[in-house]
């Protein structure tokens, strides 16, 4: 394994299984992109979607941080917080998480590759929405930047520790356990100018079902 991507803190949590990487990226709606701009590190969030062996990032052509990330190595990270671990001491308390780090050179997509990537991104964020709307105009495409980072150099770390404490004098009448966390969606809310009787589209219903639980 690339030494730069080796997990040194709790190395037993590192996974080399590509399926784990894919699952983390497929569950992600936002990735954080790190680049060096004017000699200083900059980390910003961007909408993302995995497309086979590449990670797509959606932005604006006016975003200088993306333009400067082109043809230079970037670092992209995704983290899911899945639970809070309540131990009987603050030191042993922790979190359940899944994280991925991807290193690579960001490629700007153009032409048909760009249009296809935008459909992939849109349908990941808004499942099936691209089939419900008109195609993008030339002006809209010109204002949109799509980057692709190859999934060749990556590292995955998955933390799933139990709420345990060393065999010492910690009192057992103090509660310990796990508080699960997950992504929940609210009910679709129409825009103010949507006429009465216009049904909620399938794409919005799918997005509302994301995470397996609907907020009240």
Rounded CA-CA distance 20/31 in Å is 16
Which residues have a Cβ under 8 Å from the Cβ of 159 and sit 6 or more positions away?
10, 13, 94, 95, 96, 97, 98
Beta strands in 27-106 (DSSP E): 30-37, 40-51, 54-60, 73-86, 94-105
Tokens of 99: 């994280």
DSSP-derived secondary structure letter, 62: T
Strand-pair partners of 38: none
Rounded CA-CA distance 178/181 in Å is 9
Determine the 3-state secondary structure of 155 from DSSP. Answer: strand
Q: List the chain pLDDT tens, one digit each, 216 residues.
A: 677 777 777 767 777 889 999 999 999 999 999 988 878 888 989 999 999 999 999 987 766 665 554 567 899 999 999 999 998 888 888 899 999 999 999 998 999 999 999 999 999 999 999 898 888 889 988 888 899 999 999 999 999 887 776 666 667 788 889 999 988 888 899 999 999 999 999 999 999 887 654 443
Contact of 126 with 207, CB cutoff 8 Å: yes
Q: What is the pTM of this model?
A: 0.87
């Amino acid at each position: 394994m690339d030494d730069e991507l080796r997990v040194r803190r709790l190395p037993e949590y590192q996974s080399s299984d590509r399926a784990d990487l894919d699952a983390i990226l497929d569950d992600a709606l936002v990735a954080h992109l790190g680049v060096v701009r004017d000699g200083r590190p900059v980390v910003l969030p961007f909408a993302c979607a995995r497309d086979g062996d590449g990670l797509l990032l959606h932005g604006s052509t006016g975003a200088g941080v993306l333009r400067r990330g082109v043809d230079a190595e970037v670092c992209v990270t995704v983290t899911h917080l899945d639970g809070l671990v309540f131990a009987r001491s603050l030191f042993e308390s922790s979190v359940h998480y899944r994280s991925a780090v991807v290193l690579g050179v960001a490629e700007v997509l153009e032409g048909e590759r760009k249009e296809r990537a935008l459909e992939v991104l849109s349908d990941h964020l808004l499942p099936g929405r691209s089939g419900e709307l008109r195609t993008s105009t030339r002006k809209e495409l010109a204002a949109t930047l799509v980057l692709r980072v190859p999934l060749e150099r990556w590292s995955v770390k998955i933390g799933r520790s139990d709420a345990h404490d060393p065999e010492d004098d910690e009192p057992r009448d103090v509660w310990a356990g796990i508080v699960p966390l997950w992504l929940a969606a609210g009910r679709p809310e129409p825009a103010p100018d949507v006429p009465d009787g216009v049904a909620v589209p399938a794409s919005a219903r799918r997005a509302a079902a994301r995470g397996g639980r609907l907020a009240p």
